[in-house]
Chains A and B, each alone.
Chain A
Amino acid sequence: MIKTRVSNNRLMKRIWQHKLFYLFMLPGIVWFFLFSYVPLYGIQVAFRDYNFVGGFTGSPWAGLKYFQQFFNYYQSGDIIRNTIIISLMKLLIGFPMPIILALLLNEVRMIKFKKTVQTLSYLPYFVSWIVVVTLMQRLLTPYGGPVNDLLGSFGAESIQFLNNPTWFYQMIVGSDIWKNIGWNSIIFMAAIAGIDQQLYEAAKMDGAGRFRQMWHVSLPGIRNVAIILFILAVGSLMSAGYEQLLLLNGPATANLGSVLDVHAINSGIREGRLSYAAAVGLFQSVIALILVVTVNRIARKVSDVSLF
């Protein structure tokens, strides 16, 4: 019976022919279903006065009460502004960094050195933010931290790097780049590896040096991947990084570092206002969706490359 139906459908026939390969998609499909689609059901909490007895479906409807509460909150403007500023800085400064690293590593001919740099640059990605921030606290403290000791040995004044508005953005963006640059460069390394070697040969024949080859061959070769990743990164513009900001933001920098992610977590977990936190989270997601769709459309018009 199934065979008959499959034979009527070319796509289904192809899938059936390669069923073993398609079977490998199953865990991915299950993952997406469980973690990306099932939770959508919980969005309704943002529109309900959630209580434990009623649960998701039995709690009374609250309309847009929690969205109003958020926009009436005296710091909501500052929180949105901080989120966008920090995300934009991460995007504009942080996004090109893995591309630059991948291009530079591609030019390295000593394989051992290249592998070592690659490994060292990947490692921070696997270190939790708690460890990273503790390391930063230990290294950067003006009271016995090696960085300030080094500055002192050159006769420089000690600097309070953390919990200091003057150094706040540098610390946030710098630590984010340090943590993610290696991991994010992998996909660009892969894209560069896929470039036809004949293009390099042809460029060489035309007299292009190493820099010209990088500019005219490597960079255009990874252009499409970069655009796709940029569109995805824009989707995170309303999400400045929960763990990092929760740990690195202190009372002295609160006017710069209070962001939506932390506000939502604090409201939900610290204050037990689950519906309010869900409303803030939903607001973030809706803006992110609008941004992705907009940037995707712009990218399609400008470069013919788009996500959908």
Chain B
Amino acid sequence: MNRIWSKGVSILLVSIMAGGLLSGCTNSSGNGEGAEGGDGNKLKILHNWNGSGGSDNGITPVEEVIKEKTGVTLEWEYTKGSETEKVNQIFATQDLPDIYTGPAWGGELDGIIKAAKEGQLVDISDKLGDYPNLAKSIAKENVPPALYEKAIDAYDGKKYLLLQNQPATNEDGMDWLYGFYVRKDIAEKVGVDPQSVVTKEDFYNFLQKIKDANLKESGQPVFPLGGFSNGWSVGIGNTMFYSGASYVDKGDGTVEHNFFTKGYEEYTLFYRKLVEEGLMDPEAFTQTDPIAKEKINQGRIAILAAHYPAILDASKEYVTAHPGSDYIPVGPLERADVDPSRPVDLGIQGNNVTAITSSCKGACVDAALKFLDYMASDEGFMLARYGVQGVHWDMKDGKPVPNKEWFDKFTADQSGKVRKNEGISIGLESVTGLDRINSAAGGDIWADQDRLDAMENARKILRPNGIHVITAYNPGDVITKSPEWEMLKPSMDRMGDAWKEAIFAKSDEAALSIINDLREQLRKTGYDQAMQFTNENLKGKDIVTVQMPN
């Protein structure tokens, strides 16, 4: 009897161990019902924006409406970390969502284009006729020219990518007001008018004055200059040293990468000086976003570099507790080789590409297209931006008006969670087609007046000559078509890292050596030939050679 029990228990134990091992190897993440040949009622959507997030309470009221209108239930995945890594990871592991939506620039876009070319995305060219809102979002006239050639119409007539948030009219163009912003109370304390800071010398002296004031918050030193996670975006001072664009005019009708310019060297050495002299937070490039926000919340950053909405959000708590400590614009700072009366050149364009992956088949594709087309309609657009009509807002005299109860709740909530729990700001805004926030939807109804006033005030200061929306060709989109690109790309990808290493180098010579070593590697991997190809292909075209961050 004992022997039988012993055998039975042993076999059971082995079965559990082996079963556990094998179940660990199975891919249980699922790909939505569509992947399994279901009816496409449930769609898995990856919102590939670092730090984005959703509701804590399961399906939201906004998603309930989507379900009612399209029959689709959404299952979200959000990215925590590098967006480029996430793109490469999902295709390498084949752990694909049904719908991908993410940034429309840099390595993320390159990864998605590669996936399209390698059959990892669904061709929607023959279906666009049934989905007019989607067709409109990628019509040639609604996409920046270089982006259209590179990403939308680059597959022999097939169409894989949708572009979102391209301003429908000039009025809809969102100027994020990138710049340096200083704490008002600190500027007053050190006796500097932020608008008197114009040249790089002024900027350096301003930082020095803040350091010399030896300010402390809760016993901790105040850093003269800081940024968000991984140093975003302390490097925007580059426009003081070269024209800001990735490719600059050589003066002979051709362009070269800014990395090869004298201005880039000066820019690097300037920042090296800031690090060496303790004018910049030395942890800026190694900190996470929570740590960066903690420093801002503790009042330990005097000047912050980023776009203004991010600064307003991050400093809200501190400013509420310490009135008068709000961040205000510095400058406008000089722009190297640019006439001071020139309007600010901004590459305002769609910021999001969306695609249906090969994981979604049959009914899943139809469901995905139906859902995306609904979101790109005026009704879907307003649902994503404002919430549920009749609950969160109402139409009055042809204009959307927020429900006061919800307006107060959203304004009082500094974490943004209340809004997310209702289904607003959970990623749906990234799939709403052309941006019509002002021209068709009456503006951002949830923006509180103080915030709008602050934005307007910053706009008046930083954009005294207005803005100019760039529509020219970006050489960065052309060089990727050169035969040398495959070999060149890894070296190009290292530029940002090399710059960071250089500003922490022991000496100016060591810093320049890091830059020059990479320049040599770039040349060795075909930079000169690739640039020749780029310049030849851009002959006679309007090229982006001046740009401000947007």
Query: Which residues does A use to contact B, with CB under 8 Å?
Result: 20, 23-24, 26-27, 30-31, 34, 51-53, 69, 72-74, 134, 137, 141, 143-144, 160, 162-163, 250-252, 254-255, 267-274, 276
Contact = CB atoms under 8 A, between A and B. Distances in A.
Nearest to B110: A272
Contacts of B115: 52
B414 interface: no
B283 A20 contact: no
Given A24-B14, A137-B291, A270-B82, A163 B88 contact: no
Given A20-B7, A251-B503, A141 B524 contact: no
Contacts of A269: 85, 88-89, 92
A272 B111 contact: yes
Nearest to B115: A52
B323 interface: no
Contacts of B89: 269
Interface string B518-550: 101100100000000000000000000000000
Interface in B479-531: 487, 489-490, 493, 497, 500-501, 503-504, 517-518, 520-521, 524
A162 B285 CA distance: 12
Given A53-B119, A272-B91, 13 more contacts: A20-B10, A23-B14, A24-B14, A27-B18, A53-B118, A137-B291, A143-B221, A251-B286, A251-B501, A267-B490, A268-B88, A270-B82, A270-B88
Nearest to A20: B10
Contact of A143 (B84, B91, B220, B524): B220
Given A52-B118, A267-B490, A24 B10 contact: yes
A144 B17 CA distance: 48
B489 A23 contact: no
B5 to A, nearest CB: 12
Interface in B100-119: 107, 110-111, 114-115, 118-119
3 A-B pairs with the lowest CB-CB distances in the bound complex, closest first? A252-B504, A251-B500, A272-B88
Contacts of A271: 84, 88, 107, 489-490, 493
B119 to A, nearest CB: 5
A21 to B, nearest CB: 8
B87 interface: yes
A74 B494 CA distance: 12
Contacts of B501: 251-252, 254-255
A26 to B, nearest CB: 6
Contacts of A163: 282-283, 285-286, 504
Contacts of B157: none
A250 B92 CA distance: 27
Contacts of B286: 137, 162-163, 250-251
Contacts of B288: 134
Contacts of A72: 524
Contacts of A254: 497, 500-501
Contact of A26 (B14, B107, B120, B220): B14
Contacts of A273: 490
B94 to A, nearest CB: 8
29 contacts: A23-B11, A24-B10, A24-B14, A26-B14, A27-B14, A27-B18, A30-B18, A30-B21, A34-B21, A51-B118, A52-B115, A52-B120, A53-B119, A74-B517, A137-B286, A162-B283, A163-B504, A250-B285, A251-B286, A251-B500, A251-B504, A252-B501, A269-B89, A270-B107, A271-B493, A272-B84, A272-B87, A272-B110, A276-B490
A74 B7 contact: no
Given A31-B21, A74-B524, A137-B291, A52 B119 contact: yes
A163 to B, nearest CB: 5
Contact of B21 (A27, A141, A267): A27
B412 interface: no
A276 B486 CA distance: 12
Nearest to A130: B288
B521 A74 contact: yes
A27 B291 contact: no
B521 to A, nearest CB: 4
A26 B18 contact: yes
B57 interface: no
Interface string B274-297: 000000001101111001000000
Interface in B1-20: 6-7, 10-11, 13-14, 17-18
